[in-house]
Amino acid sequence: MFSKSLVFLKKNNLFRDIKNRNSSQGSRIIIGGKEYINFSSNDYLGLANHPALIRASLQAMEKFGFGSGSSRLLAGGSILHEELERKIAKFAGTESALIFNSGYSANTGIIPALADKGDVIFSDELNHASIVDGCRLSRANTYIYKHKDTANLENLIRKTKAKRKIVLTDSVFSMDGDIAPLKEIYSICLTLNATSYTPNTLLYIDDAHATGVLGKGSLEHFKIKPEPWIIRMGTFSKAFGSFGAFVAGSRDVIDWTLNTARSFMFSTALPPSVMAASIAALELIEKKSMLIKKLWARRDKTVRELTKLGYDIMGSETPIIPIRTGSIENTLKTSLYLLKKGIFAPAIRPPTVKEPRIRITVTAAHSDEDIEKLIKALSRYERIR
């Protein structure tokens, strides 16, 4: 039934397939019996394979079993869910927090819960697909502003008469690795809220790639204090090396979300063992700032070397480092070349991005030698221009 469409994808180099590991996640992975240096994971701190997470989840499994059996609103949750929520609220400096089953389900659940018919959403054009889908599921009018363009945002927002306005942004953009101008966006929202009778402009921040990367997160990075109108979403699936997501904010926002977000209400709770792993990861992130320092040292070295070789890293400011490769064909060729050199660095193509690229993520788990191997392979590659 889909054969014609599939042929189209293949012809245009847009067909995707899945490569399954036969090893744990980490800086080295085994695929098809061969070992690769892995530059494709978002496991920024190397926690996905950390003994503390494994131990904590095993202990939780022994006490609570594996599956959770139903949604949180029935009896699917455990005291570990509650403990993680309490600890995340403390970590984020907010009144309250709520666990979601994934970042994707958080965005597709929370955004429609916050924005209804008559409300207006303002969303950065490079926001994550789950935000795009959250906007589609809400009944609010959605304006897309130009990437990080606060003048464009302010212009759109000032023209809007809607009762409730919601600004949505990734703090670290997942495919470009640049950082949102949160100070400016915060100021725009603050001014609007200060001049209205009650705060009616919400700021929703997706901190998936910032939690445990930009220190604790983007708000701390920019020294922005929590406000009742700021809603912070983050994931346990990236720097935490675990699974699931959270939303942190005022008690009202969290209570409203747990009463109305459909992806929360109508989905089975995550297993307690996953909560235990996230709690262990949170403790490590709070105690071991060394890990974050190491991540940034690796990142800075990689960027320095790539720039020296003349590669265009497309404005990256974080451990997400895209390399401009021009055509889709060239992108696939480059990825294949690296694969042959024992380096796993995925080709990112439309519709994920407009401009094809190789996307490298550097982690604290990479050794100097891993990075040197990547650089050596790229220095011998006929330069991409």
Ligand X SMILES: *Cc1c(COP(=O)(O)O)cnc(C)c1O
Residue 212 is a binding residue for ligand X (CB under 6 A): no
Residue 235 is a binding residue for ligand X (CB under 6 A): yes
Shortest distance (Å) from residue 2 CB to ligand X: 25
Shortest distance (Å) from residue 92 CB to ligand X: 16
**Looking at 99-107, 133-141, 259-267, 358-366, which segment touches ligand X (CB under 6 A)?**
99-107
- Considering beta carbons, is residue 193 or 235 the nearer one to ligand X? 235
Which of 266, 384, 272 is CA-nearest to residue 330? 384
Lay out the sheet containing 343-344: strands in order across. Answer: 28-31, 34-38, 343-344
Tokens of 70: 């139903």
β-strand pairing of 120-124 with 165-170: parallel
- Considering beta carbons, is residue 202 or 378 the nearer one to ligand X? 202
Query: Containing H/E element for 99?
Result: strand 96-100
Among 40, 68, 237, 361, contact with ligand X (rule: CB under 6 A) = 237
The CA distance from 168 to 185, in Å, is 10
DSSP state string for 53-69: HHHHHHHHHHHH-S---
Residue 128 is a binding residue for ligand X (CB under 6 A): yes
Residue 176 is a binding residue for ligand X (CB under 6 A): no
The CA distance from 151 to 203, in Å, is 16
* Residue whose Cβ sits closest to ligand X: 103
Residue 206 is a binding residue for ligand X (CB under 6 A): yes
Residue 103 is a binding residue for ligand X (CB under 6 A): yes
> What mask, x for binding ligand X by CB under 6 A, covers residues 133 to 172?
-------------------------------------x--
β-strand pairing of 320-324 with 245-249: unpaired
Residues contacting ligand X: total by CB under 6 A: 14
* Enzyme catalytic residues: 174, 209, 238
The CA distance from 289 to 295, in Å, is 10
Tokens of 306: 């790539």
- Considering beta carbons, is residue 40 or 235 the nearer one to ligand X? 235
The CA distance from 193 to 305, in Å, is 45
β-strand pairing of 347-348 with 357-361: antiparallel
Shortest distance (Å) from residue 175 CB to ligand X: 9
Binding site for ligand X (CB under 6 A): 102-104, 107, 128, 130, 170, 174, 206, 208-209, 235, 237, 245
